[in-house]
C-alpha cells in the first residue's frame, strides 16, 4: 500500500501564521524616551538584522486561534528558516534549507487527521517537500519578511489622544532592564491590533532600544509575542538521513 500526503501548504494554513505582533507609537515623560524615538531605533535594528526569531505563545486563546504557540527563525538575506507551531491537533514544523530544499514534520495529536494526511507515521520523522511545491511554502518567508513593516506601520494608527494616554515605566524582563509601554489595542478606535486584546504592552531594552516582547492581554489572559536572536540565528541544515521518511505525495 502506498502512503500519501496532501499538499502541505493547505494543511499549514490552519496554523494562522498571520498572527503578527503590532506596536504602538507614543510620547512619554520621565526618564524613558518617547515611544516614537525608541520605536524608530528598534525598527532600524530589525531592518538591518541578517536574522532573528519571532515567537508567539497564546495558551489561553486570547486571539481566538487554534495556535497555542509558534516559533519562526529565519535569515533575511537568504532562504533559510525553521517554523514550529503547536496546536491542539498537531505540532507542525517546516525547515527550508535553501530555495529548492525543504522538509516537513508532523506530530499528530488527533487521530482523525490521519484520514486527511493518510495512514502514515510522521511522528518524529521529516518528509522532504518536492521542489515543485517550494513556491507554496514561499508564503511563510513573505509573512516573515513583512513582520517588521506590519509591526511599525500599525504604530502610526494611534490617535494623538491615544498617544497621550500611553503609560510607561522602567522595569525588568527576564533579568534585563526594559522600558514598558502600555497602550490600548485599537488604532483610531477603528481596528484592533490584536484580535481579542484590550491592552498591549511593549518591552524595549533600555541599553539598546531593542524590541524584545509584546504582550496582548484581556482580563487575566495574555498572549506573548517576542523577538530575539537578532543576527544570531544559525544556518539551518537538512536533517540527518535517518530522520527522513520515504513518502510519495498526492495532490
Q: Within the chain, how many helices (H) and strands (E) appear?
A: 6, 13
The residues spanned by each domain of the chain are: 8-243
Q: Grid coordinates representing 83?
A: 517554523
Residue showing cell 498537531: 90
d(CA 67, CA 176): 28
**pLDDT given for residue 99 in this prediction:** 85
Pull the grid cell for residue 139. Answer: 508564503
Residue with cell 540565528: 233
The residues, any chain, with a CB within 8 Å of residue 89's CB and separated by 6 or more, are 66, 108, 109, 110, 113
The grid cell for 241 is: 538521513
- Residue 31: per-residue pLDDT: 81
Nearest to 68 by CA among 126, 36, 38, 109: 109
198's grid cell: 484590550
Q: What is the pLDDT of residue 154?
A: 63
Distance separating alpha carbons of residues 57 and 222, to the nearest angstrom: 9
- Tell whether domain 8-243 is in CATH 2.50.20.20: yes
SS3 188: coil
What is the CA 2 to chain-centroid distance, rounded?
35
User: Per-residue pLDDT for the chain (251 aa), expressed as one digit of tens each?
Assistant: 433 333 333 333 333 333 222 223 333 344 899 888 898 899 999 989 999 999 999 888 888 777 889 999 999 888 899 999 888 888 889 999 988 899 988 887 777 666 665 555 456 789 888 877 766 666 666 666 677 776 676 666 777 888 788 889 999 999 999 999 987 776 544 444 567 778 888 999 999 999 999 898 888 999 899 999 999 999 999 999 989 887 765 53
Q: Are 65 and 86 in contact (CB under 8 A)?
A: no
Amino acid at each position: 500500500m502506498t502512503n500519501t500526503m496532501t499538499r502541505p501548504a493547505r494543511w499549514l494554513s490552519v496554523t494562522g501564521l498571520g498572527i503578527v505582533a503590532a506596536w504602538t507609537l507614543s510620547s512619554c515623560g520621565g526618564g524613558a524616551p518617547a515611544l516614537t524615538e525608541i520605536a524608530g531605533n528598534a525598527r532600524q535594528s530589525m531592518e538591518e538584522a541578517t536574522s532573528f526569531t519571532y515567537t508567539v505563545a497564546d495558551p489561553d486563546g486570547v486571539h481566538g486561534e487554534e495556535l497555542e504557540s509558534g516559533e519562526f527563525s529565519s535569515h533575511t538575506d537568504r532562504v533559510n528558516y525553521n517554523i514550529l507551531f503547536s496546536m491542539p491537533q498537531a505540532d507542525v514544523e517546516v525547515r527550508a534549507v535553501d530555495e529548492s530544499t525543504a522538509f516537513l514534520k508532523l506530530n499528530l495529536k488527533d487521530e482523525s487527521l490521519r484520514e486527511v494526511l493518510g495512514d502514515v507515521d510522521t511522528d518524529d520523522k521529516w518528509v522532504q517537500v518536492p521542489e515543485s511545491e517550494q513556491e507554496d511554502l514561499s508564503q511563510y518567508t513573505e509573512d516573515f519578511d513583512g513582520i517588521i513593516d506590519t509591526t511599525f506601520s500599525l504604530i502610526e494608527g494611534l490617535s494623538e489622544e491615544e498617544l497621550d494616554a500611553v503609560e510607561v515605566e522602567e522595569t525588568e524582563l527576564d533579568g534585563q532592564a526594559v522600558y514598558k509601554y502600555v497602550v490600548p489595542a485599537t488604532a483610531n478606535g477603528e481596528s484592533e491590533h490584536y484580535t481579542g486584546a484590550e491592552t498591549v504592552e511593549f518591552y524595549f531594552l533600555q541599553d539598546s532600544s531593542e524590541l524584545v516582547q509584546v504582550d496582548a492581554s484581556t482580563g487575566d489572559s495574555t498572549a506573548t509575542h517576542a523577538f530575539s536572536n537578532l543576527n544570531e540565528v544559525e544556518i539551518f541544515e537538512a536533517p540527518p538521513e535517518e530522520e527522513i521518511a520515504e513518502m510519495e505525495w498526492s495532490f
